[in-house]
Amino acid sequence: MKGPSEHLDRLGRTRLLVCDVDGTLTDGAMYYGSDGEVLKRFTTRDGLGISRLLDAGVVVALVTSEDSPIVTARAKKLRVEHVVLGCLDKAVAVQDLCQRLKVTPADVTAIGDDLGDLAAFRVAGLSVAVAAAVPEVKAAAHLVCESNGGHGAVRELSDGILASQ
């Protein structure tokens, strides 16, 4: 992960990880079959990173603009209890999660890849872009992963959080 050392040092403060899905937990591609059902590709490495965070007491939330049962199924498999689907304003979602979970925004790390994630970045104490994020997201992020979304970026971040605690 790349970024100033003072931001890397803040990883250990993370109590809530807010994670975008498409382009962050996935490679951003959507696969459609003849029946119209969408498929998404997830990597097990990211899943293990999320499981390790949960085991360490870090709360993980998936926040996405999509309304996909695939996201719900992946969250269930990973034991992620906090899922916000069809989210039009990620800043509001992060603020709501903070209030419900009694976490201060300074203790929130948000990871994303595209313009819709900028709202979450403005609320979170620490913002992280995946390697293939759009330029505006990289510019707004405190840290940038070396890995792309769907190819280990969330694992890279989770390993950094755990190593810093």
- In the predicted model, is pLDDT for residue 43 greater than 70? yes
pLDDT at 37: 64
83 bridge partner residues: 62
**How large a percentage of the chain has pLDDT more than 70?**
99
CB 27 within 8 A of CB 43: no
The half-sphere exposure of 56 on its side-chain side, counting CA atoms within 13 A, is 22
- Kindly write down the DSSP assignment for every residue of 36-53, as one continuous string: --EE----HHHHHHHHHH
pLDDT tens figures, 109-123: 999 999 999 999 999
Tokens read off for 23: 């382009």
Cα Rg, the chain, nearest whole Å: 14
Q: Which domains does the chain have, with CATH numbers?
A: 5-164 (3.40.50.1000)
Supply the pTM of this predicted model: 0.95
pLDDT at 34: 83
pLDDT at 139: 98
**What's the average model confidence in pLDDT over 127-153?**
98
pLDDT band at 27 (very low <50, low <70, confident <90, very high): very high
- In the predicted model, is pLDDT for residue 68 greater than 70? yes
Nearest to 82, CA basis, from 106, 58, 46: 58
Tokens read off for 127: 């913002």
pLDDT at 20: 98
């899922």: which residue's tokens?
83
pLDDT at 151: 97
- In the predicted model, is pLDDT for residue 36 greater than 80? no
Average pLDDT value over all residues in the chain: 95
